[in-house]
Amino acid sequence: MSLSVSSSDAFSLRFVNRVFVTRELPEKVMAPLRHEHDVTTWDGDGPVPNDVLVSEASTAEGLLCMITDAIGLPLLDRASHLRVISQMAVGVDNIDIGECSRRGILVGHTPGVLTETVADSAFALLGAAARRLFEGEREVRSGKWGPWEPFHLTGGDLHDTTLGIVGMGRIGRAIARRATGYEMRVLYSSPARKDLDDADHVSLEVLLAESDHVVLSASLNDATRGLIGASELRLMRPTAYLVNVARGPLVNTVDLIEALLSGWIAGAALDVTDPEPLPRDHPLLSLPNCLVVPHLGSASVRTRNAMAALAVENLIAGLEGWSMPAAYSTAG
């Protein structure tokens, strides 16, 4: 931290903090941060390499980071000046939250602004999977589009079905609201029952057994890692589609491959995977009943700009000692 005296007004003193930003963000969004602080931005291709991140964090008071950045002990142990971490995402499973709170480092994230966009993505994926749109598209592009046939690529309906939502936070609720428009019955499982008119709280087992489709929208933590494995997938209906717009490690990938190969479920649509990104020769990518997209849940122009802007606001507020508009809280 350094003290800056404005040349136009000798009485205007302010502390200038050193901030490291791990991806280039639109200049319009960054301007307020640059105006107040000494900002360094990683401008290389792809995520910042870990050694660069650790070295930059070692002299920074503020960090604006992404889900691709590992914010754990190796970084925190060297980041003795770090006071505020602002993540441009709602999920913070790449950050050692316990260690940050032990060290008094504030953590901000970007809930709310992405809720509706991720819910839109969940429905886009569900529709694409249940109606087998991606299989049809592949067929068209590969020159295999033959004459119309009565039962070719028939899939499942969305309307008048039962949708199971695992995790009923903001995004789960937005998915449930959309489901009512499709006249779906909605079941949800989450650690706490919510006061909802349009969805029924059930155990995970009941949800899996009774749902025509299942959408995962729970955050990743010790309790949810590997939540969906072989026994859970076996509970699902052979006609059911599984959509994951949360985090890849909620699902055991090996078990999912078996479920898709053996017909325990009809198909899956994954915005997130484990590992991520998937190598090109990964078995999931060879399965015709599995749609994989590269973590695009919140990827609308408007929403990504809103996330970047909120991440900047959080960082400025935290550095100034004001309350952040969106501080991360384990209470959700």
Residue labelled with tokens 């909620």: 250
Work out how close the CB of 218 gets to ligand GLV at its nearest, in angstroms, rounded to a whole number: 12
The closest of 236, 256, 238 to 248, measured between CA atoms, is 256
Q: Which stretch binds ligand GLV (CB under 6 A): 83-91, 144-152, 186-194, 284-292?
A: 83-91
Report if residue 114 touches ligand GLV, rule: CB under 6 A.
Answer: yes
Report if residue 291 touches ligand GLV, rule: CB under 6 A.
Answer: no
**Residues annotated catalytic, as ranges:** 247, 276, 295
Based on CB atoms, which residue is closest to ligand GLV, 266 or 308?
A: 308
Given candidates 19, 53, 79, 90, which one binds ligand GLV under the rule CB under 6 A? 90
User: H or E segment at 39?
Assistant: strand 38-41
Report the C-alpha gap between 49 and 160 in whole angstroms.
Answer: 48
Report if residue 175 touches ligand GLV, rule: CB under 6 A.
Answer: no
Whole-angstrom CA distances from 231 to 187, 204, 227 are 19, 11, 10
Work out how close the CB of 273 gets to ligand GLV at its nearest, in angstroms, rounded to a whole number: 12
Q: How many CB atoms lie within 10 A of CB 217?
A: 29
Based on CB atoms, which residue is closest to ligand GLV, 161 or 273?
A: 273
Work out how close the CB of 36 gets to ligand GLV at its nearest, in angstroms, rounded to a whole number: 25
Work out how close the CB of 172 gets to ligand GLV at its nearest, in angstroms, rounded to a whole number: 14
**Angle formed at CA 24 by CA 20 and CA 25, multiple of 5 degrees:** 105
Based on CB atoms, which residue is closest to ligand GLV, 248 or 267?
A: 248
Work out how close the CB of 92 gets to ligand GLV at its nearest, in angstroms, rounded to a whole number: 8
Report if residue 326 touches ligand GLV, rule: CB under 6 A.
Answer: no
Work out how close the CB of 88 gets to ligand GLV at its nearest, in angstroms, rounded to a whole number: 8
Report if residue 298 touches ligand GLV, rule: CB under 6 A.
Answer: yes
H helix and E strand count, the chain? 11, 14
147 pairs with which residues across the strands? Answer: none
Based on CB atoms, which residue is closest to ligand GLV, 211 or 244?
A: 244
Q: Which stretch binds ligand GLV (CB under 6 A): 10-18, 55-63, 89-97, 206-214?
A: 89-97
Based on CB atoms, which residue is closest to ligand GLV, 230 or 299?
A: 299
Report if residue 244 touches ligand GLV, rule: CB under 6 A.
Answer: no
The three-class DSSP label of residue 188 is strand
Q: Are 14 and 296 in contact (CB under 8 A)?
A: no
Based on CB atoms, which residue is closest to ligand GLV, 90 or 326?
A: 90
User: How distant is the alpha carbon of residue 65 from its chain centre?
Assistant: 14
The single-letter code of the amino acid at 266 is A
CA atoms within 13 A on the CB side of 135: 18
Report the C-alpha gap between 93 and 224 in whole angstroms.
Answer: 11
Encoding tokens for residue 254?
């090996």
Report if residue 311 touches ligand GLV, rule: CB under 6 A.
Answer: no
Given candidates 82, 85, 89, 227, which one binds ligand GLV under the rule CB under 6 A? 89
327 contact partners, CB below 8 Å, separation of at least 6: 106, 107, 108, 314, 318
Given candidates 19, 21, 67, 259, which one binds ligand GLV under the rule CB under 6 A? 67
**Angle formed at CA 294 by CA 325 and CA 247, multiple of 5 degrees:** 55
Give the count of residues interacting with ligand GLV (CB under 6 A).
7
Positions touching ligand GLV (CB under 6 A) are 67, 89-91, 114, 297-298
